Amino acid sequence: MTGALQSIHVCRYMNQLPHLAERSEEIYKIIINDLEMTLTKALTMESQMLTGEESDKMNIKRSRGDLDEIIDIQPTNTLTPFNIESLGFDLDPLGIVHPKAEMTFVTANCGVKVLIKSQPDAFWSKVQESKNSFPAAAPDIYKSITDDARTPGKREVEYGSAVLNFKKSIEQITENSQENFTYKVDEGDIPRQYNFNGFRAAILYPNDKWVEWTWSYNYDQAKKDLALRFDALFAKIAVETLAKLDNHIQKP
């Protein structure tokens, strides 16, 4: 390119600078929107690769020692978006200060199913008294479960040596009936380490000897990989708890 042509291009771009400066906030929003769309597509592709298929479910067959069960896992690629407003400001690449963007949270709905050998009523009675039965059946998973004397239904779960990523959680039992054992976790290592809120879980009375343990929570969409790692860990805890409880009941 000759010097004259270069000068013409420089002058043309310089003449556009005032117009670009006036539209800087509009340009910023367009760029951010494109980035968010790209990130959403990338996360969707990542989730599909992790699950191995585009379905919302995957079935895994596992055998481990005396454990032999079919696990039905619903991974976190089934999402319900909602927004939580955050305070503060963001500085864009042009140096312009804008109100901080909303954090996008999504809801993860997950679960496992285990086929038991015990009679449903006998198994369910042990679920209802899980304070004692879980540590007895799976001491490597549960070191202790202690009731809070001041708050009915509230208890502290201390996890055993088999659980490495978190050690304590505070559960509040919300239902303990003949159909459901439900609880929520708003305190302890799970919401603190994984930045979750609204964690809810339920164990359902056996259906044709299939016991289902489901859980849901809200998490920052930007930290989806952390949520996926949690789901894999909690699925392992849930499956082994139910299977070991079943084996414990079978012992003479």
Query: What structural domains does the chain harbor?
Result: 1-53 (no CATH), 55-250 (3.30.530.20)
For the stretch 172-227, pLDDT in tens is 999 999 999 999 999 999 999 998 889 999 999 999 999 999 999 999 888 888 89
Pair of tokens at residue 102: 């909303």
- Convert the pLDDT of each residue in 82-109 to its tens digit: 332 332 333 344 434 334 444 566 888 8
Residue-wise pLDDT for 133-174, tens only, equals 999 999 999 999 999 999 999 999 999 999 988 899 999 999
Does this model's pTM top 0.85? My answer is no
Specify the pLDDT at position 108. Answer: 86
pLDDT tens for 45-76 read 544 444 443 333 333 333 333 444 434 433 33
Q: Using one digit for the tens of pLDDT, what is the confidence trace for 74-86? A: 333 333 333 323 3
Cα separation, 158 vs 211, in Å, equals 23
- Please report which confidence band the pLDDT of residue 1 belongs to, taking 50, 70 and 90 as the band edges: low
